Structure 1
Amino acid sequence: MAAKVTLKDIAREVGLSPAAVSLVLNDRPCRISAENRRRIKEVARKMRYVPNQIARSLVTQHSQTVGLIVPNIESRFFSSLARRLELGCRERGYALIITNSDDSPTNDSELVRLLANRGTEGLLVVASDEADADERLITALSELPVPYVMVDRLFGGLSCDKVSFNNEQGGYLACRHLLEAGHRRIACIVNRASNTGRERLAGYERALVERGVDPDPALELESAYYIADAYAAAGDLLDTNATAVFASSDNIALGLLKRLYVQGMRVPRDCSVVSYDNSAADVLFEPALTSIEQNVDELAGATLELLFRRLKADAAACEPIEAEARILMPRLVVKDSVRAL
């Protein structure tokens, strides 16, 4: 492997000082002739010089990096969100460092400190989906010297920029669609231990009550946001005589579909299903799932707008900007998994 080319190597080649070479390659103001500028850049190109971003950040106090914490990078929704955030950061000249908390509050607080110690200029945090905000995470975020945005999963106790979809409205739209198709025995598989799950469940119950249907606790089944957990939870569905199911995430829907197919049941012939997230992966399954869409481009765009607005204000030493909370609206995407009764 060839040795890394340094500023001193280029300076030796052109017969100028390393300081002069550094000024030219970093496009800093200096009294160096146009011819010497041309020579420096030509030699740097021929020698395949790659700038040392760490060294540069020590001088400029800008690392050009942003940190992202997600609870489960294997989730279709979060991997898609991470991809769009990375593209958006790159378009702005920043690198995105992506970390995975495994939905652990302990990991959340440790990753906040890790990314801050790595010199990131801002953080994007999708917290573990717990019923209550973790005090360690609140403390870690409160002590941050850089701006951050809470994304998708929100909780109180912090004055910061926040972006999320209206989960309650998403649950309402899902259940209302099934009711409009004539279903009355509608089950819901939901992660009641999480804020997002409870909000989606509340929307589901609101739609039932609005149509004069009493929510039935026997139809409200519990599952974490993993396929295996949903497969196990769906076993209880077979005794409920439900004609339709609201699966409160795509992973839950896939676990449900697997269990139904093992039992010889087909969607929507034997059971109608509305999912949540509308991830691109569901086009691989038959039938295509009617789902509640959380538009990832919209979420990523709003998140980056808030973060870079604050970074720009900090760089210009402007007056502090008030924290902003943006609640985005989900929408129903009708496909092939609901049968009218």
Structure 2
Amino acid sequence: MKLFALLLSLLASCTAATTAQAATLREGWQEVDGLHLFYREAGNPADPTVVFLHGYPLSSIMYAKVMEDLVAHQRVHVIAMDYPSFGYSDAPSHDTYRYTFDHVAETVADFLKARGISRYGLYMQDYGVPVGFRLISAHPEAITAIIVQNGVIHLDGFPSAQDPNGELRRHWANRNPAVDQRRTNYSKSLTYPRAEGWEDEDHAGLDASLQMVAAVQRPGVIEARNDLWFDYGTNVSRYPVWQATLRKMKVPVLVLWGQRDQFFTTPGAKAYLRDAPQAEVHILDSTHFATLDAPDEVAEFVGGFLVRHQVALPAAK
């Protein structure tokens, strides 16, 4: 525990240094339903808002550079929070907090309400997509734009889940303790970035990788993450409903996709065109974590999209 406390202290120092260099980024904790949820925010809340929903296994850290770039070049309010057990947010035991996508989405909705956010664009990646589409389904009138990056609502881009008799689909139908144990062993085996014997295959970067390992190895977090992964099957069953919801909506849609993602593959990006023919689709020479691997390119695409569709305002001259 002393080592963990020291690690958090070092991470906080790194975050403080980043904030000092980019004064537009504000950070803090919002109390929501008895939990302290960490968030990053930039811009004037009176300007149009874009909410960033992170994926697995990272946190709002994956959006920091993109958020700073957007606010530097246009009038937009951006905010990203860490889900319970992710990043710097509280990590309640799975005995006291239900780690399901329904519950996480409820927590995010309560966070937005606590921050006074009722109308917004959504940027969603990985786990952020099923969280975000629950928000969209509940209040489609609140959504001004949809941005998806390496996250699916079609099986086209999810090869490991396409076989109804494959391991994933069988686990989601009837929880397999062996799958949980394998995931637990993997999480426990993760090491902090170092000069030798460590690889950053997805180009998440040192700071994000360090935070990810520290967060997942907190007491009880692995069990919480296993519960959430088991619940992922509820997302697959809702894909047809979410596709139908998207077809009914007339909001602008942007799809960005790191083509070197081996888990969520590029057919998933093109599948959005079936339900949103107005979507702009860009395949990037990047990874699952494109906002960390190619933040400038992502910010350029997102910034132009937001201004064209009046989801953000041009910077004052």
Please say whether Structure 1 and Structure 2 have the same fold, judged by a TM-score greater than 0.5. Answer: no
Specify the structure having the higher radius of gyration (Cα).
Answer: 1
Measured against the shorter chain, the TM-score band is 0.3 to 0.5
Give the TM-score normalised by structure 2.
Answer: 0.35
